[in-house]
Amino acid sequence: MPQKKSTRRRERRGTVRADARLSMRLKGQREGGELTQMVTESQNISASGVYCLSPHYLAPLSKVDLAIVLPRLTGGRSTKDIVNCEGIVVRCEAGLRRSEPQFQLACMFTDLDPKRRQRLEDFVTWRNLQALRAAAGGNGRTALRARTAARKAVSARRARSRAGSTGRAATRRRGTVH
């Protein structure tokens, strides 16, 4: 019997995204070459890019400066973390509502150092975990499994980043011999 074709498209993104309304500042050049700066709010974010609404059209492949305000994660030291980076506009389309002339803007990060990328990955994991808890009513087996899996993923990612930055010295301290 022939198989049905799936109506759902395969996800092509390499990093996980989280719905998040974060304050952000964006600087870029408009079509006429005029430099514009705007304060807006993200719609979703990942460690590789951000999607937001813009009152101005910015041409695809144009460079932008981004400043995104991330909230503090549980156990963090500061109240807010501002991620400053450069990006490239990958999509800018007219908004759905004619009453509000806004553009749907997608930007890819181009110069994130490993520390800031890790901070974004941790935020996305935390935010998706919150969404799972809310969907499960804050309790139940599904929420517990999701929390456990998310904690393990964050711990494994942190261990990998620590091992990569400290090299062999960390292994020697734990008592293994090379």
Helix residue ranges per DSSP H, the chain: 114-135, 141-166, 168-173
CA distance 130 to 75: 16
Residue 136 has, within 13 A of its CA and on its CB side, a CA count of: 16
Q: Given this model, what pLDDT does residue 6 score? A: 56
Contact 110, 87 (CB under 8 A): yes
Residue 165 has, within 13 A of its CA and on its CB side, a CA count of: 10
CA distance 115 to 108: 17
CA distance 14 to 49: 11
Kindly compute the dihedral angle of the four CA atoms of residues 50, 53, 54, 55, in this order, to the nearest 10 degrees.
Answer: 180
Q: Given this model, what pLDDT does residue 143 score? A: 53
Q: Given this model, what pLDDT does residue 149 score? A: 67
- Residue stretches of the chain with pLDDT short of 70: 1-13, 74-78, 98-99, 101, 138-150, 156-157, 160-161, 164-178
pTM for the model stands at: 0.66
